């Protein structure tokens, strides 16, 4: 079994991740942990530097979260993608072919400009696999 978990860095997403691990602990699925960053808003050096800082913070966060997941006995694959979160989640789902995808209600994440709008609604409409939307 394979679960694609979409993490935006928020407290709500972390609670949803823990709930997901509890729900599926007996199956011991592989967890594909995905975080999506939108690119720099323009090509200025200042925006590029801000984006690189955000990318570094997101990478560190994902590595810490991956250690949390492996500490609970799950195998984990980590993906840090750039682009439109909605489209990158669907693309990752098509590439990784999970048995289920999990998203949480948005909750003001570490990186404020990662996800804007109703990502979960888009994912539910466009995914080719079951989608579990967790409200924490």
pLDDT in tens, 89-122: 999 999 999 999 999 876 544 444 444 347 888 9
DSSP letter, residue 83: S
pLDDT in tens, 5-29: 999 998 989 999 999 999 999 999 9
Give burial (CB, 10 Å; 0-12/13-18/19+) of 42: exposed
pLDDT in tens, 54-74: 999 999 999 999 999 999 999
Total number of domains constituting the chain: 1
Residue 75: CATH number of its domain: 3.40.50.620
Q: Residue ranges of the alpha helices (H) in the chain?
A: 11-23, 45-71, 85-96, 119-126
pTM, rounded to two decimals: 0.85
Tell me the residue range of the domain where 60 lies: 2-134
Token digits for 11?
């407290």
């Amino acid at each position: 079994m394979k679960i694609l978990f979409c993490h935006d860095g928020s407290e709500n997403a972390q609670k949803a991740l823990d709930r997901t691990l509890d729900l599926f602990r007996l199956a011991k699925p592989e967890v594909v942990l995905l975080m999506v960053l939108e690119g720099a808003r323009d090509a200025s050096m200042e925006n590029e530097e801000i984006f690189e800082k955000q990318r570094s913070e997101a990478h560190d966060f994902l590595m810490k979260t991956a250690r949390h997941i492996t500490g609970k006995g799950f195998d984990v694959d980590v993906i840090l993608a750039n682009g439109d979160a909605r489209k990158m989640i669907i693309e990752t789902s098509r590439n990784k072919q999970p048995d289920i995808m999990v998203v949480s209600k948005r909750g003001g994440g570490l990186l404020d400009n990662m996800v804007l709008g109703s990502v979960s609604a888009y994912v539910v409409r466009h995914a080719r696999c079951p989608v579990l939307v967790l409200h924490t």
